[in-house]
Amino acid sequence: MEQAKSNSPKLFVSTAIENKDEVEERYERAYNYFQSLVADCTEKEAHDALNNAVCKNHEEVSVGMLMSILTEPQNATKCYRDLTLITRDGLTCVLNNLSNLILERYLKFSDTTRNQLMWLIKEMIRNAVTGIDNVCWNLMRYASGGDITPKNIILVESLLDMFIEHRGWLDKFPVLICMVVYTYLRLVEDHNIPQLMNLRQKEVNFVITLIRERFTDVLSLGRDLVRLLQNVARIPEFNQLWQDILVNPKSLSPTFTNVLQLLQTRTSRRYLQSRLTPDMERKLVFLTSQVRFGHHKKYQEWFQRQYLATPESQSLRSDMIRFIVGVIHPTNELLCSDIIPRWAVIGWLLTTCTSNVAASNAKLALFYDWLFYDPEKDNIMNIEPAILVMHHSMRSHPAVTATLLDFLCRIIPNFYPPYAEKVRQGIFNSLQQIIEKRVLPNLHPLFDSQKLDRELRSTVRETFKEFCTNGNGEGVSGIRDEGTDDAIPRVGSDEPAFSDDEEETITPTIAEDTDDDDLPLSEVRARERPELAAALPLVLRPLAETLLDERTSSSATALLDACGSPSPTPKALADLFAAAVQEATPLRISNNPAPAELDNAINSPLFSMFNYLIDSSSGAEHKRKLVLETFKEIHSQGSLRCVGFSLLFYLRVCYERDRRSERDSAKRRNVKFKADVYKDYCSYLELKLAESLADDFERCQEYDTNVLVWLIPDVYREFKDQAQNHIRLLHAIVSTLDACQLQRLICLTLQGNLMMFKSDDITTMLSTSLGWETFEQYCLWQLLTAHDISVEDVLPIIPKLSFKEHSEALTSVLLMLKQERPTADVVRQLFCRTYDEEDTSVVSTLMYWCQDYEDKVGDLVAALLSTRYPGTSPNKRKRPGKYSMPPNAPPSAELVLKHLEQMRMCCVEQDDMSIFNMECMQKALQQAQSNSSDSLRRQYSELFSLAWEDELPISRRARKLVSNSMPINANLHSSNEDSEEEEIVKPKQAKRRKKAISDSD
């Protein structure tokens, strides 16, 4: 290679004032190191130097050669050849660095670097380098929609030509095919100007070919494939595809029934993410996770200038809304903070849209998951932003709410008329889920707002009548409507119209500034909650406002203490406390919480209510009943899911506090956990105690796993009759644990402070657990082992365990059997297992036992085999042997023979047939052979042939006697008729895994 230049070639484009960052400096160091190895060397010397260097510093050499390929076209071919010769990892290091470069720095690549990148990718595709498909995926993300600049068009066309040229390679990657289809379907929409018609036709031909030839793979794209196909339906080729989808679906794929199959499949988040460049994605994630509401305008203005300034970029809004709806799912903690929420970002994207077509597509993108929403399959986080945009825009931007409601009503009959009822049902499911999950307490203020046009209100009432009235003249909020629409005052001629150009309409009767864009999120929320305080008696309203502002235990206590005469209704208190608790910090603790941390954790309005459940003074009964009625109302509304486990947490905190306050150890041991408080709570709410505990633990795992683990010992101690062996409760625990928490529970069990299981009915629990995840079953069996559950308790499930589907449980059972001695019951259950030549669990257990208990194993197996042939013994008056078993009980004779044949093959492989040469086994085999059908004799001829040996070799037991210089009893080989009745002498406990003595010894 040529000698290294004094100045390294440039990988990135940078201005004079920009300093080199760590990435650029790293690549330059690696490049200079590579050049120092090959400078002034012949080809052979350079190759030897690279081979020696790559053994010591593989990554630096690889990165240096990668930079040479990307920046020096004249040396690229030779450098790539050398790179493939010296690589030690199949170019994995190069591919990883290449992917990182693309994701982090592609926009700063120079033109030379971009050209060389495409060249390198094509070379790797020709050489079928493993992992190059991931590089193609990452690079395709920069083929941006809404961008017809020359650089983007060059990238789009280069990638298209590459996929066309290497179609055979592309067909090997179904996921990449879906990505290509999804990407170019989206890009075709933007390439509608005369200068790009040739490129557009090439894209159309390629995408149509891919869809038709690989339709089964493309089906996995789900409902957003239909959305993109709708946007290009006027193109003749896609119009014909639509005809086949709707009229002749089987022509595309035998498994494709109709378009509903696509519409009911949720699109994977990776495809929604792929239509934003990594740079756009980082900016949107930052906006929705770091920027506080009220400080967001400058960030939005920058984003608008950077990505949404051109007319063609308006189509990007749909991609951004689909990304926000389907990919950005904030945590509960983020939802309760002052960070700008998703609905605010989406509202900004809708109100700043300058194209009617783009605005319609943006609304469809927002509501798309509503149309065929299924609560069992879809995520409520995908439908939450749309309802919140409408709800929060009603005050300051009623025109936005009006256009969205109008769109929602019109899309039901117009999306696809044959599926109008299915669309209606999907939207109905969405609204029902919104109410059930308390995204909004009710829909009446939204659907019947006076800020909406009368015609629109009428349309909304007709379309969503289930959510506008309960049949008694009451709205969904439960408040009777006074009069008809004519009695509602009109807002005047300035009421909002449905024009997309109208951004905001304010009625003349509103004097205050209603624009919330510059207000903190907490103040925006405060403006929306006056009805909570208004529902209380006048004297309590200031205290209610204080509670909503502070959300502390002390403010809640002050309010409840003041509840006298007149007393607030339980419903009013329930709504108030639900709003206060939802905005408070969620309950969370560390692994080992200190007293101060516990005191801080219960400084919440909810925990102040629990004080009145514990207070047993004579004057507290009225407050106690009011609090219980409030909890009953909260439970019926479903507005708070954290009450039950929070009560258990509060009782545990009180228990720990009382124990710390007692200095006398004897008195400290007598402190009781106030379990009756939780029992009274369940009784008042008419809840079954066991099911309530399971429900509360399932909800607790959604909030904080440390809280759940902290509660486990007390729950199993105080509610042992309900908690032990409770399947749902146990599953909630094991599905939450990590390895550290599991070890903590096992330690508590070994100390005697935790008892989670009882022997009664453990079989049902174990059978149910077979469908759990692998780690969940692992946790369960670890806990069972710590509780010393006996092998007799798990015997009934041994025949049910499939070695493929239940491998976790089967492995644990085998490890338990390894610690046991063979018994008649265990052997019988093992032989009841369905035979499969790949399943070696039975023979493995028997062969392990044979190392120490061969005589006993032989007697047990022989007795089992003999009892499969009842009434065949010549001695009719013979008493049952010690190990004899009922002849009609499983397993069948054929099943026993199958397992014995597998055992025979294992013994042949180990060259040790001593167990089959035992007298009892010989007699059992002879008996089985003489009473088996001809087909069984032929099938197990090799097994039965073992019964015809004239001279029996010495067994393992006898070899042990020989090794101890003891004479072998002649009766050892006798065929004494009563041998099965003799007492088997238990051998002394030998060392585990003792090697069998070979015949030569």
DSSP calls for 535-558: TS-GGGHHHHHHHHHH--HHHHHH
Q: How far apart are CA 382 and CA 387, in angstroms?
A: 10
Distance between CA atoms of 484 and 996, rounded to whole angstroms?
Answer: 95
Q: Indicate the helix (H) or strand (E) that contains 263.
A: helix 259-263
Tell me, what's the pLDDT at 542? 81
What pairs with residue 339 in β-bridges? 292
Quick one: CA dihedral 197, 202, 203, 209, positive or negative? positive
| Of 338, 342, 463, 453, the residue nearest 392 (C-alpha) | 342
SS3 292: strand
* 438 touches 638 (CB < 8 A): yes
Helices (H), 876-984: 893-910, 919-931, 934-939, 941-944, 956-963
Contacts of residues 15-18 at CB distance under 8 Å and 24 or more positions apart, as own/partner, are none
What residue type is assigned to position 559 of the chain?
A: L
Neighbours of 712 (CB within 10 A): 21
Task: Give the residue ranges of DSSP H helices in 483-537.
Answer: 521-527, 530-534
Amino acid 421: pLDDT? 93
For residue range 212-259, what is the model confidence (pLDDT) as tens digits?
A: 999 999 999 999 999 999 999 999 999 999 999 999 999 999 989 999
The CA distance from 980 to 865, in Å, is 13
Q: Quote the CA–CA distance of 370 and 387 in Å, as a whole number.
A: 10
What's the half-sphere exposure (Cβ side, CA atoms, 13 Å) at 356? 5
Residue of 543, 610, 535 whose CA lies nearest to 575:
535
Which tokens is 871 given? Answer: 């009434």
Give the dihedral of Cα atoms 362, 366, 370, 374; nearest 10 deg.
120
> Residue 502: what pLDDT?
36
CB 524 within 8 A of CB 338: no
Structure confidence by residue, pLDDT tens digits, 874-903: 444 444 444 444 555 678 888 888 888 888
Copy the structure tokens of residue 369: 């998951």
d(CA 238, CA 825): 68
Torsion of CA 565, 571, 572, 575, to 10 degrees: 150
**How many whole angstroms separate alpha carbon 146 and alpha carbon 594?**
55
CA distance 586 to 704: 9
Q: Which residues contact 447 (CB under 8 A, 6 or more apart)?
A: 405, 457, 460, 461, 464, 467, 468, 476
Among 857, 786, 771, 776, which Cα is nearest to 816's? Answer: 786
**Number of helices and strands (H, E) in the chain?**
55, 0
Distance CA 535, CA 575 (A): 9
pLDDT of residue 532: 64
Residue 133 confidence (pLDDT): 92
pLDDT given at position 490: 33
Best CA proximity match to 68, nearest among 2, 121, 139, 167: 2
Q: What is the pLDDT of residue 465?
A: 84
The residue written with tokens 């298209």 in the block is: 160
Instruction: Give the integer Cα–Cα distance in Å for 422 and 806.
Output: 39
Which residue spans within 388-484 are E strands per DSSP? none
Q: What's the CA gap between 438 and 637, in Å, rounded?
A: 8
* Low pLDDT (below 50) residues in the chain: 1-6, 470-515, 517-519, 521-522, 525-528, 872-885, 949-1001
CB-CB contact of 861 with 846 (8 Å): yes
Q: What is the largest CA-CA distance in the chain?
A: 118
